[in-house]
Amino acid sequence: MRPELTVVVKIGSSSVTLPGGGVDEAAIRSVCSQVAALVGAGHAVVVVSSGAIAAGWAALGGGRRPQDTGTLQAVSAIGQHLLMRVYDDALGSSGLHVGQVLLAPLDFANRNQYLHARQTLSRLIDLGVVPIVNENDATSDDEIRFGDNDRLAALVAHLVAADMLVILTDTAGLLTGDPRSSADASLIEEVVEIDQRLEEAAGGAGSEVGSGGMASKLAAAKIAAWSGVETVIADASRPGVLGDALGKVPGVGTLFRPRSTRLPARKLWIAFALASSGQVVVDEGARRALVEGSASLLPAGVLRASGGFRVEDAVEIAGPDGTVFAKGLARHSAEQVAAWAGLRSADLPAGSPHEVVHRDDLVVMS
């Protein structure tokens, strides 16, 4: 039976771990009781949960959190099953089964892996199982990982064609200022468009146990918006927060409206999941051709290139005024692009791709 709505719920480390370390079982039971209520009402729910590293480190005695990748990966392997045991007990008390799904960035970048991941999640939902998703921290390459589960949750929302993404955190939502330094900071209840000013105001990391602050949650909301998915950022400790989010109760948190256009998975990956390794500045004619047409970026329109990017690296594309308007995968190195800047196709060597960024690998962001 088709679910009424498909909802992705992301729970941050600060919401599932105790102040002294370890898993906050009471907090997880509270959220899981709400998840069970949504499932009972005919909705499909996918949970994206942080907390494996925090749980694993607490099990080893706690103390100052390690920083080196090897230890963090090992600690994640210890903590992941501890975290899953709590979810299994909490949802099992409501008669629900859970399925662990560990994802890596390449599951979204590679078409076959993307389809396999989507099939697995869809089948779990069809079976009435609640998927519990986390990044595969134990084996992830540090250079190609999500870095925080906010972005992962947004990509999962795209993967399962969710109707809503609910990001649960330790604040009421997006505020007009930092509540730690501004007594009059108030809740922004609705955001129609995420612009640069809003991103700059979001700030940095928010807690020691988490890997992202409001900035990463705003980035996740932006990914979801380009996926056609509504997002709510809300306080995990608010009673009935999930039901209120679905009901769009005023004051439940910050609601982000989706865009009318939905990016395909691969372009979503290029636009939001890959870090840029450099920048290509183009002239006004090239900017207009990329924004208004379906053109690839050719050397003739390039003014200059910066950064040490290599073939297949992600690069920002900026207009002559320096404003970034697109992002794509480079078909040549920074040195090659700089050497070919301004040259027409007829003047380029035969037998090599002439595009700096092919249209299939390019995303216009404005």
pLDDT band at 206 (very low <50, low <70, confident <90, very high): very low
**203, 45 Cβ separation under 8 angstroms:** no
Distance (Å, rounded) from C-alpha 186 to C-alpha 176? 5
Q: What is the pLDDT of residue 180?
A: 67
Instruction: Report pLDDT for 143.
Output: 44
**335-360: pLDDT as tens digits:** 999 999 999 999 998 888 999 999 99
CB 216 within 8 A of CB 150: yes
Going along the chain from its start, the domains and CATH numbers come out as 6-267 (3.40.1160.10), 275-364 (2.30.130.10)
pLDDT digits (tens, 9 = 90+) for 97-149: 999 999 987 787 777 888 999 999 999 999 999 999 998 866 665 544 555 78
What's the rounded mean pLDDT across residues 256-277? 84
pLDDT at 230 over 70: yes
Q: What integer pLDDT is reported at residue 70 of this predicted model?
A: 85
Overall average pLDDT of the 262-285 stretch: 88
pLDDT-derived band at 32 (thresholds 50, 70, 90) equals: very high
Cβ atoms of 244 and 177 within 8 Å: the answer is: no
- Give dist(CA 156, CA 147) in Å, integer: 15
Strand pairing report for 276-282 and 314-318: parallel
Candidates 353, 366, 354; CA nearest to 316 is 366
| pLDDT for 350 | 85
> What's residue 64's pLDDT?
78
Is 189 a residue whose pLDDT tops 90? yes
Contacts of 277 (CB under 8 A, 6+ apart): 307, 308, 309, 310, 313, 314, 315, 330
**Of all helices (H) and strands (E), which one includes residue 137?**
none
Which segment of 11-25, 206-220, 223-237, 291-305 scores lowest on mean pLDDT? 206-220
Q: 């070919």: which residue's tokens?
A: 340
pLDDT tens digits, residue range 304-338?
999 999 999 999 999 999 999 999 999 999 999 99
Q: What is the pLDDT of residues 151-181, one digit of tens each?
A: 899 999 999 999 999 999 988 999 887 666 6
Q: What type of residue sits at position 66?
A: P
Q: What is the DSSP letter of 231?
A: E
pTM: 0.83
Confidence check: pLDDT of 211 > 70: no
> Is the pLDDT reported for residue 46 higher than 60?
yes
Residue 347 confidence (pLDDT): 92
Rounded Cα distance between 316 and 280, Å, is: 6
DSSP secondary structure letter of residue 258: P
Task: Work out the number of other CB atoms within 10 angstroms of the CB of residue 69.
Answer: 13
Confidence of residue 268 (pLDDT cuts 50, 70, 90): confident
Q: Over the stretch 47-98, which tens digit does the pLDDT of each residue have?
A: 999 888 888 888 888 777 778 888 888 988 999 999 999 999 999 999 999 9
pLDDT greater at residue 61 or residue 44: 44
Residue 197 has pLDDT above 90, yes or no: no
Which among 364, 355, 363 is positioned nearest to 296, based on CA atoms? Answer: 355
Question: What mean pLDDT value characterizes the chain?
Answer: 88
